[in-house]
Structure 1
Amino acid sequence: MPDLIHNLEAVQERIAKAAQAAGRDASSVHLLAVSKTFPAEDVRAAHAAGQRAFGENYVQEAIAKIEALADLRAALDWHFIGPLQSNKTRPVAERFDWVHSVDRLKIAQRLSEQRPENLPPLNVCLQVNISGEASKSGASIAEAAQVAHAIAALPKLKLRGLMAIPEPAGGLDEQRVPHRQLRELFERLRGDGLELDTLSMGMSADLEAAVLEGATIVRIGTAIFGARDYSH
């Protein structure tokens, strides 16, 4: 799949340029390839091109993909990044390495209770509704500290940091504002004693703004796999 390989290289180049502009080492920004709606064969091809971490939004689709790629399980990191309902936490707790979309304490508690004893702690991020959109999930900025401390105290989870999906904005300066707000919240929580190392922010359209403001994981789908077909 030459297009996919070219796209991966192009995204890595964007990350490297943005990191250089920010005075950062490009290796401090990790690429999460968002493979939702794309087949397992595309994930296999991306892995063959050197990609390790993959993000999925839909539980049933993700489980089918993980099972289809069982021969690569030790070589892949699976990240759940979509809205997570209480009745879907068990398969996620049992199969994923990361959950970025922990938007409330109840979800974290269920993941903690359902994480198998034989697996390492589940890496989680608290999702913050950084733009205050009514349509978006996530803790508010005001309640984030309380929720984060409660999540950090749960067994079988490791709170790694924060995640956000900012409201779309036009230019680079406008895009940087919500990412800066998330970074400032992240720094406040670290100052409060939480051992956080992850800022999951930035997608295909605002990757540069996110990297300039400190993203450690960027979640890129369209720029790697192409336009999505949701008709199925």
Structure 2
Amino acid sequence: MEKADTPLEQVRSNIALACKRARRDPSEVTLVAVSKRHSAETTEPLLIQGHRHFGENRVQEAQEKWPELRERHPGVQLHLVGQLQSNKAEDAAQLFDFIHSLDRPSLVKALAKAYDKTGRRVPCFIQVDVGDEPQKGGCPVKEVPALIEQARDADIPLAGLMCLPPADIEPAPFFALLDKLARDHGLEGRSMGMSGDYETAIMLGATHVRVGTALFGERPS
């Protein structure tokens, strides 16, 4: 009897199939395993399998979980995928390798100051409010050009754009909008797609997919 695929192997297989359908190279897509609210013990099996890109929602949780895991498993790339408070900018700059939630001018200023102090210039994705849902965070679509300019003027390296489409609505139009915005502004990265829709996101240009439940199961409350 054949051994069943692990969740990581299944997700990687799905990514490869979506890339084949889209006539893309799977190496163009980074799988960010979102381990928020999962313990180090739950997270470590993916590290043992060789996975190295992980996402966390909160700076404090990552500070508690990752230093020891990184000692045991070199090469980890940490992605901050949740909202970032300006007063945590310096901590984020020291800990994370990518920030996916740059969404306002005040955070541009805080990050620029943190980068100058720490000497680390962490690439950022600008989070776009593609569904006009202010409660989620994200830069309104009409304000994206100005925020991109502000970030560039502050010498913040931009990795691309990020979005969270509205729940329970077909996500494809929102992914297409983010892809167009990225192309219009000469940005390569598109951080879009989660457990329920990452294959659709890949078909529409995602370079980073943020997958949690499909890899770890439901999050602890």
**TM-score band, normalised by the shorter chain?**
over 0.9
Match of 1:203 among 156, 176, 194: 194
Q: 1:94, 1:116 within 8 Å by CA — same for their partners in 2?
A: no
Partner in structure 2 of residue 28 of structure 1 = 28
Q: Distance in 2 between matches of 1:209 and 1:228?
A: 23
Partner in structure 2 of residue 102 of structure 1 = 102
Q: 2:90, 2:118 within 8 Å by CA — same for their partners in 1?
A: no
One-letter amino acid of the structure 1 residue matched with residue 201 of structure 2: A
Q: Distance in 1 between matches of 2:154 and 2:161?
A: 16
Q: 1:100, 1:200 within 8 Å by CA — same for their partners in 2?
A: yes
TM-aligned CA deviation for residue 105 of structure 1:
1.8
Q: Distance in 1 between matches of 2:98 and 2:80?
A: 6
Q: Given the two structures, how large is their TM-score scaled by the length of structure 2?
A: 0.92
Q: Distance in 1 between matches of 2:121 and 2:167?
A: 33
What's the secondary structure of 1:94's corresponding residue?
A: helix
Matched, 1:8 2:31: no
TM-aligned CA deviation for residue 116 of structure 1:
6.0
TM-aligned CA deviation for residue 117 of structure 1:
5.8
Partner in structure 2 of residue 164 of structure 1 = 163
Superimposed CA distance per residue, residues 188-210 of structure 1 (whole angstroms, 9 cap, x where no aligned partner): 111xxxxx221000000111110
Structure 1 residues 17 and 70, CA gap change in structure 2 (3 angstroms): closer
Partner in structure 2 of residue 126 of structure 1 = 126
Superimposed CA distance per residue, residues 39-65 of structure 1 (whole angstroms, 9 cap, x where no aligned partner): 123333211112111000012111111
Q: Which runs of 4+ in 1 moved over 4 A?
A: 116-120
Partner in structure 1 of residue 212 of structure 2 = 221
Say what the alpha-carbon RMSD is for the aligned residues: 1.9
Deviates more, 1:26-35 or 1:81-90: 81-90
Partner in structure 2 of residue 153 of structure 1 = 153
One-letter amino acid of the structure 1 residue matched with residue 13 of structure 2: E
Q: 2:108, 2:150 within 8 Å by CA — same for their partners in 1?
A: no
**Unaligned stretches of 5+ residues in structure 1:** 191-195
| Equivalences, count | 219
Deviates more, 1:22-31 or 1:118-127: 118-127
TM-aligned CA deviation for residue 16 of structure 1:
0.9
Q: Given the two structures, how large is their TM-score scaled by the length of structure 1?
A: 0.88
Q: Distance in 1 between matches of 2:119 and 2:53?
A: 18
What's the secondary structure of 2:151's corresponding residue?
A: helix
